[in-house]
Structure 1
């Protein structure tokens, strides 16, 4: 299960806290304590995360587990790249070296798997799964450092 699969669980304590706050506040309690700008940002990040989960689910359904796990390992490179672009995260030579080596290793291992296609999956489906999983990795790498 992905990181967003249990969102209803967190919704329950938030709802209880909201009703308790309204019960114990004496002066005209506000229902929503969030600005429209923050709400839009949360909605966009939530939609992108949902799209990422869709890509991930569709991609791994068409790939064997080792291949999909290796492709998802490229998430580290995408996160480092987008962190540098979006939030100006500084990288040391050691961190750059680690990201490059881990990503190249994952890509080489994923591309050199032969005849590991699941039964009933065509070559076209396999490539669609490969690129959807890569898109999920890229999108998640973009969502993580969003300010």
Structure 2
């Protein structure tokens, strides 16, 4: 599976970091790039359940390709969401369902720093993305 341009950019940036401290700083910078969701978008219907922190997710499908936007109150989680969004940008429903989240975070050098609860939360976000894509394809 080839990487979207934003995912290649993330991979190159994170692979240049020699240690966790630099990756954590880079993660926070990526999180700052996320466009905040409006008050209307931060509603219960867009909330991702299964995350300890509050996370909201919106989705739009254009020509069979998914565009997601996400936001969280937690700074580090915003960074993790940003690199997840970079990875899924423009994917179709089948590609989304085949995505190996653990492999992506391993390639970024972030897997060892993901606590079980954070890892579960990111998996919940990916599951919600898959669910939205599946619901849309049934229309």
In our comparison, the structure showing a higher alpha carbon Rg is 1
Report the TM-score when normalising by structure 2: 0.36
Structure in which a larger fraction of residues adopt strand: 2
Structure in which a larger fraction of residues adopt helix: 1
Q: Higher RCO, 1 or 2 (CA under 8 Å, sep at least 6)?
A: 1
Report the TM-score when normalising by structure 1: 0.34
